[in-house]
Structure 1
Amino acid sequence: MLKQAQNQPQADFIIWLAAKADLSPAEKMQTKTEKGKFVFETLQAFAHNSQKSLRGYLDTKGLDYTPYYIANKILVRGGNLDLLYTLATRADVARITTNHYYQIIEPIVEPPKTESVTEIEPNLSFVNADDVWALGITGEGVVLAGNDTGLDWEHPSIQPHYRGWDGSSADHNYNWWDTTGTFPNGPGDDMGHGTHTTGTMVGDDGGGNQIGMAPGAQTIHCKNMDSGGGGSDNNFIECFQWDLAPWDLSGNSPRPDLAPDAVNNSWGYWDGGNPVFEDEIAALQAAGILVEVSAGNEGPSCSTLRSPGDYAEVLTTGSVNHSGGLLPGALTDFSSRGPSSLTGEYLPDIMAPGENIRSSVPGGSYEYWSGTSMAGPHVTGLIGLLWSANPGLRGMVAETQQIIEQTAVPLTGQTGSNCGGDYDFGPNNDWGYGTFDALAAVETAMAFGGTGTLEGTVTDSATTDPLSGVQIRASLNPTITWNIRTDENGFYSRLVFSGTYTLTSQLYGYYPAEISGVEVISGTTTSQNIAMDPAPSFTVSGKVTDASAGWPLYARIDISGYPYGPIFTDPESGAYSLELAAGLEYTFRVTPWVDGYQSISRVIGPLTTTQTEDFAVQADLAACLAPGYTPDYIYAENFEASDGGFVTSGSTSWQWGAPTSGPQAAHTGQNVWATNLTGNYFDNESGSLESPDIDLSSAASSLTGGGGGGSAYLILDWWQWLQTEECCDFAAVAVSNDGGASWVTIYGPTSGYVDNEWAKYTIYLDPSYAVSNFR
């Protein structure tokens, strides 16, 4: 923000006030209506009182600003550097941030297909939605919202389910809001994305187009993105505030009683790690509104989740391929992976079909799109089925999410990118808990009746001191478990379904404790205190070394189940030593500090005595970055002396030379190959740039399988600067091992503002590319 204000005479920014409203009383309220009213009234009153002084100051300066209450923030328009410095000194100001720009999670629009009359789309029968409908459950009584690019409300598969339509006339008050101002009087969609996602939630034309998960539910919409599929913080905050209590078309008279039950969000902030909407989403969840977010299409690399898909509070959805017809499907390559860069949580939470999804588009048509944007609405629609099947669940966000997760079908054996976690049953950072099963989730939801409160205090059995941070698993026979944590006074409390529970408590330094037969009766409070026995500790020590050379390595060791952070080996000896409590299993993940080594993991324990655990770490011979290891370069080209013999084909603007557009300069030296050195590429362009034959045959004998016992791969590196039009244009890199007769895509297709500065890409090629006519 400071840099922006220094470089511009005026800038928009968001002030985060230090004070936050206490919404915790909502946790014990029995109904979503009670929760919503309390959260709305509390936030409005709190913002009004806590913002008075700051708003008074802004008024004296004649500034244009917008106050919010869903989070205690104020958007200032046209502020300057002096104002920024002044505001930063105020005690009531916690942070000042730029008005970030966000983008939809760009779908892949598939080529037109020959239509077949299937009535029920295969992606819906794949997750057993049709079996739920056969029970007479289609989402009646539930309202599902979309925060997206807009809505073609007159589409034949959407109009019957739009809450503003009564069968003969429309009333868009409380059912539509446009933060961009494009369609102030009623719904519209100038991009198409919101219409497609809404179709997957509720779409059904009553004939041959059953495209939606919950066709009995109603839908409303807040437009938070423009025709290019982008929006700023203020657009998204305004939509979240409208979700909490929709207002009329004039922006007045908000009504929390008309709030949706769940909100679909198929957009995100590139690169993740941005907590800017945590307060807004926490408020919606406190009000009993479930917030679903698509993971992103930046997979398969680890830690590629977009924000807010990397928030622990939301229900994050990744993508699977449903073409086999049977759960759980195959993990989609483009689906973004965890862990969350904010919390380290295993994410995504759940998977859903995200490839070749047929749904509604503006104008009454249907198209096949792919992306986690298409997966997410399946899960939002599932909320409609669950809360319709058991209205007692309505507003119980955490409990609903646990039902979805614990009835999911794990992608057992599919390790994906091996980003961490349990690959037998989940959760993990590639596919979470697995692909949801609508029938299993609904049957589980229907099994529960009323609710009661389970509470108590956890203490040290020797000292009777209260224990904070204890993890309690309250398992309701036989199918569902609530996760609870004690506060600083050792106290825990949770609204749960009535029934008989087994409580298991766990805290580092103590033996786990288990109590069975704890009965919770509907409408009452059950008190169950727990005493935990201290556990002895034992020393675990060892060394981390290079597996080939044996030299010691300075390494970070992350230990799951150990609460005191990572430990590090001695830089000179590679040795480590620490005390660990008995009775628990620990997963050691060893990562050398220098680049070029593979991380390794090992499960240790439960400990019963002192233990030695040495780790011999393999160098990554494919990357060849570890000290003491040297790559063997076969070919390099920087395009300085010549164009490298590359040739163009098709309708193209490819040029060789010094660029004056885009990045304005080559990554190194003077020259590059570029689509138009002086400006944008041409309209309707479809062309390629192709290398000459490159002789890589000398590498064959040194690759694994070639008798050399070395690396398993050839390594292709290049630098790129890439921007394309978001909606329509794509770039890709392909390789050939037969002189161009056939090609394999190794990067892309991708589009948008991919690399706004020079970026290096590395691709590993298998030994079949060690040929004399590689291209």
Structure 2
Amino acid sequence: MLLLTALVLSVWFWRRNAREAPVWMMLTYLGVGVMAWEDFASVSTAASAFPKILKDFIMLGMVGFVQSMAVKKQISVWMAVVLIFGMFAAVHYLDELINTDEEVETFTSATDDDWSYLVELHEGATAQQLEDFARMNHYRVERAFFPEAASETYLDNYYTLSGNADRPLDAEVLNALTTVLYSEPNETIQVEPFIVGDRDLPAGKQSLSINDPFTGEQWAMEVLQMDDYYRLLHQLRPRKQAKVVILDTGVDGDHEDLTDNYFSIESKYDNDPHGHGTHCAGIAAGVTNNGIGIGSLAGGGDSPFVEISSVKVLSAGGMGTQKTIIAGIIEATDEGADVISLSLGGRSTQSSQRAYSAAIQYAHRNGAVVVAAAGNSNRDAKDYAPANADGMITVAAIDQLLLRAPFSNRTDKIEMAIAAPGVGIYSTVPGNGYKSYSGTSMACPFVAGLIGVMKSIDPALNHRDAYRIIHETGRESSETRITGRIVQPAATLARIAR
């Protein structure tokens, strides 16, 4: 539409004194309106549309300027044509470059206008029947997952089938295909952090045995007895540097309090337009005892126990799908992750556990422990995915009174539940900044970071032993039944080190 509007604008310049000039003027205005609407409709949030609209208006302005120079014979017509096409080529190249660098992958979000299903085929079946079904109904089909160790999982049998609302899917017809074993909606996943002030929170402890200047903002340090933890950690040496991978909106790998602990899986994951992933990364493994920012579970010194990384599975607006999360678990596992942290989720049916559980089982078989936030809806976590998946360690949030945070989902029906601070948690945000967020999203990386340290001391530790230790060393509260015990890093470290 931009190119067509630019063409009409050019004709208007050259025919401005002709009788039909008003027609070209009206067509130009109509093109501008349609162009702006398409820009607005192509993004998930209104704020995301403004940069696109501004870029297109600047392009039209440049086209108008070049055409005015040609009309005044300051440059030749051919020179104007070359300049205009050169500008469009340059903008197209830059768009491709930006999309290549920043996008996680193309995925179909669940909206009012489209739908998507995860489809599992029988082992050994080809996709031909599913592809024929998709072609006949004008649907789109593609393979969903590409695990490196395909022989260890059935995830390589999954495909996505998607289409538009004007061509709805009859799930019964899909499930009747002889090659289809199972199907479920490719559900939408999102992050929901709550930004809060600090006026109702207790001050942190300034006399910790670490020199990070913002520990006074970290009230959770005292609740978690982090000074005891740091003193004990100082006496230990890691057997390996464990890899903790944050699956989220990305991580600002250049942040001053993360960069020394950060390793890159792919450069496109090393930025965070949303901020959520960077905040979680700081809680799990911000560089500690470096005279900068905050303290974390990672410890400090010349031999850090963990390193942190990122796989982008959510958009800049914090939205993703079940497919992108599972693909992220697979990618993190294939990159050698020891711990995978998922501060995300959404309402779910029990059936959606199947694909998530297969992904978690794949991670377990390859030595990774997977940790997820319980969810922020004050409901039952068994109705939220991936918190309810088999083999998941699920984290509820507590407040400064050691009570379940008002927003935190309950975890009494979750097999492996634990609790951690999740209200007013001060941590890193992009651009060398720091903020307080609240949510089970913030509680989750406390546990993920601790399990990372546990894996650095005992690399053979599996998910069940890791949970057993943090549960047995956890602190009871008046609401343990609905949150799980409160994680206690010092007691856990003492148990794993003996």
- TM-score, normalised to structure 2, is 0.64
- Partner SS for 1:278: helix
Quote the Cα distance in structure 1 between the aligned partners of 2:248 and 2:454: 23
What is the identity, as a one-letter code, of the residue corresponding to 1:291?
V
Q: 2:448 aligns with which of 350, 374, 380?
A: 380
Q: CA deviation at 1:242?
A: 0.9
* Residues 1:272 and 1:409: Cα distance change in structure 2 (over 3 Å): farther
CA contact (8 A) 1:272 1:310 kept: no
Q: Is residue 2:284 matched to residue 1:201?
A: yes
Quote the Cα distance in structure 1 between the aligned partners of 2:169 and 2:342: 36
CA contact (8 A) 1:272 1:304 kept: no
Greater C-alpha Rg: 1
Quote the Cα distance in structure 1 between the aligned partners of 2:112 and 2:183: 16
Quote the Cα distance in structure 1 between the aligned partners of 2:254 and 2:391: 34
Q: 2:224 aligns with which of 120, 127, 133?
A: 127
- Partner SS for 2:437: strand
- Partner SS for 1:91: coil
Q: Is residue 2:339 matched to residue 1:262?
A: yes
Quote the Cα distance in structure 2 between the aligned partners of 1:377 and 1:309: 14
What is the aligned partner in structure 2 of residue 225 from structure 1? 314
Q: Is residue 2:169 matched to residue 1:92?
A: no
Q: Is residue 2:242 matched to residue 1:142?
A: yes
What is the identity, as a one-letter code, of the residue corresponding to 1:259?
G
CA contact (8 A) 1:13 1:76 kept: yes
* Residues 1:8 and 1:410: Cα distance change in structure 2 (over 3 Å): closer
Between Structure 1 and Structure 2, which shows a larger proportion of helix residues? 2
* Residues 1:401 and 1:303: Cα distance change in structure 2 (over 3 Å): closer
CA offsets 1:85-133 (integer angstroms, 9 cap, x no match): 65422232122323221111x1221237799845473423432344333
CA contact (8 A) 1:132 1:138 kept: no
Q: Which has the higher contact order (CA 8 A, sep 6+)?
A: 2
- Partner SS for 2:474: coil
What is the aligned partner in structure 1 of residue 21 from structure 2? none
- Partner SS for 2:384: coil
What is the aligned partner in structure 1 of residue 143 from structure 2? 66
Quote the Cα distance in structure 1 between the aligned partners of 2:383 and 2:246: 20
What is the aligned partner in structure 1 of residue 7 from structure 2? none
Segments of 5+ residues of structure 2 without an aligned counterpart are: 1-110, 148-154, 207-212
CA contact (8 A) 2:187 2:348 kept: no
CA contact (8 A) 2:411 2:483 kept: no
What is the aligned partner in structure 1 of residue 251 from structure 2? 151
What is the identity, as a one-letter code, of the residue corresponding to 2:291?
G
Q: Is residue 2:328 matched to residue 1:239?
A: yes
Give me the CA root mean square deviation.
3.1
Q: Is residue 2:401 matched to residue 1:350?
A: no
Quote the Cα distance in structure 1 between the aligned partners of 2:423 and 2:365: 33
What is the aligned partner in structure 1 of residue 196 from structure 2? 110
Q: CA deviation at 1:222?
A: 1.1
Q: CA deviation at 1:163?
A: 1.3
Quote the Cα distance in structure 1 between the aligned partners of 2:457 and 2:113: 56
CA offsets 1:615-659 (integer angstroms, 9 cap, x no match): xxxxxxxxxxxxxxxxxxxxxxxxxxxxxxxxxxxxxxxxxxxxx
Residues 53-452 of structure 1 mapped to structure 2, 5 A cutoff: 53-54=128-129, 57=132, 63-70=140-147, 71=155, 72-78=157-163, 80=167, 87-104=174-191, 106-111=192-197, 117-119=213-215, 121-135=218-232, 136=234, 137=236, 141-164=241-264, 175-176=265-266, 185-204=268-287, 206-215=290-299, 216=304, 217-245=306-334, 258-270=335-347, 273=350, 274-275=352-353, 276-299=355-378, 302=380, 306-322=384-400, 329-340=402-413, 345=414, 349-393=417-461, 396-411=462-477, 414-415=478-479, 428=481, 430-432=482-484, 434-447=485-498
CA contact (8 A) 1:265 1:376 kept: yes
Q: CA deviation at 1:208?
A: 3.6
Quote the Cα distance in structure 1 between the aligned partners of 2:374 and 2:452: 20
Quote the Cα distance in structure 1 between the aligned partners of 2:142 and 2:348: 29
Matched residues, number: 354
What is the identity, as a one-letter code, of the residue corresponding to 1:223?
K
Q: CA deviation at 1:406?
A: 1.0
What is the aligned partner in structure 1 of residue 56 from structure 2? none
- TM-score, normalised to structure 1, is 0.42
Between Structure 1 and Structure 2, which shows a larger proportion of strand residues? 1
What is the aligned partner in structure 2 of residue 13 from structure 1? 117
What is the identity, as a one-letter code, of the residue corresponding to 2:483?
W
Quote the Cα distance in structure 2 between the aligned partners of 1:333 and 1:84: 38
- Partner SS for 1:384: helix
CA contact (8 A) 1:18 1:94 kept: yes
Q: CA deviation at 1:405?
A: 0.8
- Partner SS for 1:330: coil
CA offsets 1:566-596 (integer angstroms, 9 cap, x no match): xxxxxxxxxxxxxxxxxxxxxxxxxxxxxxx
* Residues 1:142 and 1:73: Cα distance change in structure 2 (over 3 Å): same
CA contact (8 A) 1:305 1:338 kept: no
Quote the Cα distance in structure 1 between the aligned partners of 2:474 and 2:383: 21
Segments of 5+ residues of structure 1 without an aligned counterpart are: 1-6, 20-48, 165-174, 177-183, 246-257, 324-328, 416-425, 448-775
Q: CA deviation at 1:58?
A: 6.8
* Residues 1:95 and 1:204: Cα distance change in structure 2 (over 3 Å): same
CA contact (8 A) 1:204 1:212 kept: yes
